[in-house]
Amino acid sequence: MTSSKQIVRRAALALLLMTMCLACVEARAAGESPGLEKTEQVKRLGLAAPADVRSHLLQSLAGAVAADPAVGAALHALWQPPQAAGDDLLDRIAGSAALTDDRVAHLVRICSGPTEPWFVDSPAWLHDQTFDPWLRDQLRVYFGRWLARRKMYDQALSVLAGLEPADVVDPASLLFYQAAAYHHQLRKAPGLRAIDQLLNDVRDCPSRFQVVAGLMKEDLKKLEDDSLDHIARRMDDIRRRLDEGNADKRTRRIEDGVIASLDKMIEDMEKKRQQQQQSGSGGGQSSSPMQDSRIAKQKGPGQTDPKDIGHKSEWGDLPPETREQIRQQLGRDLPAHYYDLIQQYFNTPQGPGAPAGRRP
């Protein structure tokens, strides 16, 4: 009986091992690494290797290099030193292309100088299909990044539109500056998509990008449409646009949206106030306080029901000096006009026929 149980266990163990082996074979056939978590599998994007970029550049600029040996020497000098920490691939690509194309050289001068971005039109050749596609895409990221850094978010998104992270040498920069532009424009859905792709799909993402992207994600998730914060930030965006002389249709559309949100907020507050007034009037009391801190204009005889508090010591039996001292003590910490009321109180007769100055 025991031997039969052992045979069954061994058979089950063999079946389990066979299943695991088949899973490994299928995973390798699919190009996956078994045993890795999903978060590691999806991080398929990363910064391109400088050697690969250099090879691609030489291929794209092969005609110019063959025509002018000086261009080949300049390229060799530009890419010969090992890449130092902080060295930017996009800058090196733009500098290399500027050696052979005057249009790129002009773009590099713009992005390297003090030119204000709102005086720069997006070059049409950046969308020219006859331009080398790979080089064109890298230059679009180069220019779009420069625009986003200078808060020209509309132009930046226009230049970066349609680019795929897998097609550029620096996918982290593409996704980060797209996310920053969407975040500033309060475009919640595309902003969160770009941030999630940056954090989940890009390996070796710069820590500064990760930290800022995390903050932008939390900010967009908490943002509520037509809230006071939402209105204030749209007004800041309008101010930025007008400072740049940008009064286009989008700016006017944002202005109309702000006005509509303010009208809605005022209407909601008015409805709430009316409901509070109705609720207060139902209880027989006014729901609004007096507008100023002052003595209410509600005059009366100032008389109260007499109360027997004994006959051992009455106010009228006190010496005048003592009564005056008590009056002064009562009104010491009150405004001057309250002293007159205190004086009037003590001079008011207790009831019909009671003499003045006999207040209990």
Tokens of 257: 């949206």
Q: How would residue 347 be classed by pLDDT, with cut points 50, 70 and 90?
A: low
Amino acid of residue 118? W
Residue that wins the pLDDT comparison between 311 and 69: 69
DSSP 199-237: HHHBTT--HHHHHHHHHHHHHHHH--TTSHHHHHHHHHH
Q: Give residue limits of the domains in the chain.
A: 224-273, 315-347
Average pLDDT, the chain: 75
Q: Using an 8 Å Cβ cutoff, are 155 and 128 in contact? A: no
According to the per-residue pLDDT averaged within each range, which of 44-48, 69-73, 218-222 is highest?
218-222
The tens digit of pLDDT for each residue in 212-257 reads 999 999 999 988 877 777 788 888 778 877 876 777 787 888 888 8
Joined together, the tokens standing for residue 226 give: 């037509």
pTM above 0.85, yes or no: no
Residue 155 in contact with residue 184, Cβ under 8 Å? Answer: no
- Calculate mean pLDDT across residues 29-53: 60
**Alpha carbon 304 to its chain's center:** 63
How much is the pLDDT for 38?
39
Q: How far apart are the first and last CA of the chain?
A: 110
Region of 276 on the Ramachandran plot (φ > 0 left; ψ -120 to 50 alpha; else beta): alpha
Greatest distance between any 2 Cα atoms in the chain: 126
More confident residue, 53 or 118: 53
10 Å CB burial of residue 132 (0-12, 13-18, 19+) is middle
pLDDT tens across 1-33, in order? 445 555 545 555 555 455 554 444 444 444 443
> pLDDT tens, 144-177?
999 999 888 988 999 999 999 999 999 999 999 9
Please tell me the distance from the alpha carbon of residue 354 to that of residue 333, in angstroms, as a whole number.
30
Q: How far apart are the C-alpha atoms of 183 and 181, rounded to whole Å?
A: 5
Q: Alpha helices of the chain — where are they, by DSSP H? A: 2-29, 38-41, 50-60, 62-67, 69-79, 89-98, 102-112, 133-149, 153-160, 171-184, 188-201, 207-222, 228-243, 249-282, 320-330, 336-347
